[in-house]
Amino acid sequence: MSQPARYPQTIEPARAWLTEALCASPLYEGRRDLWFPTTGDKSSAREAKQVCVACPARLACLTDALREEGGRGHESRFGIRGGLSGKARRNLYDRNRARQARQEAAA
């Protein structure tokens, strides 16, 4: 069941997943504290991750975050996106790059 999004329908095609994202639904409007918990606020982070698990746009959200953040440092990695914290996204990005490098070296 899809929720109506807060975002206008004229969003760029690469971010069309926002129309299906639970975090963009009216249910979570005004709950910025979930997606951007303060340091040490494990309760909000856990709640956000639980919402992400049920979200139909989770994979697209995570893919967008990894593409947008790329190899940039910590300062660009805030909040929960695609069910992962900034640190977890950085670790995933680094593992993916290492795997890609190994595959290219073996080719």
Name the percent of the chain lying above pLDDT 70.
83
Q: Answer yes or no: are the C-beta atoms of 24 and 55 closer than 8 Å.
A: no
**What confidence tens digit (pLDDT) does each residue in 46-81 have?**
999 999 999 999 999 999 888 888 766 555 578 899
What residue segments make up the domains of the chain, in order of their start? Answer: 13-106
**CA 92 vs CA 2, 6, 49, 95, 98: distances in Å:** 28, 29, 16, 5, 10
| 3-state SS assignment for residue 84 | strand
3-state secondary structure of 81: strand
Alpha helices in 1-107, H assignment, sequence order: 32-35, 42-54, 58-69, 86-106
pLDDT at 20 over 60: yes
Residues 35-45: tens digit of each pLDDT: 888 888 888 88
Q: What is the mean pLDDT of the chain?
A: 83
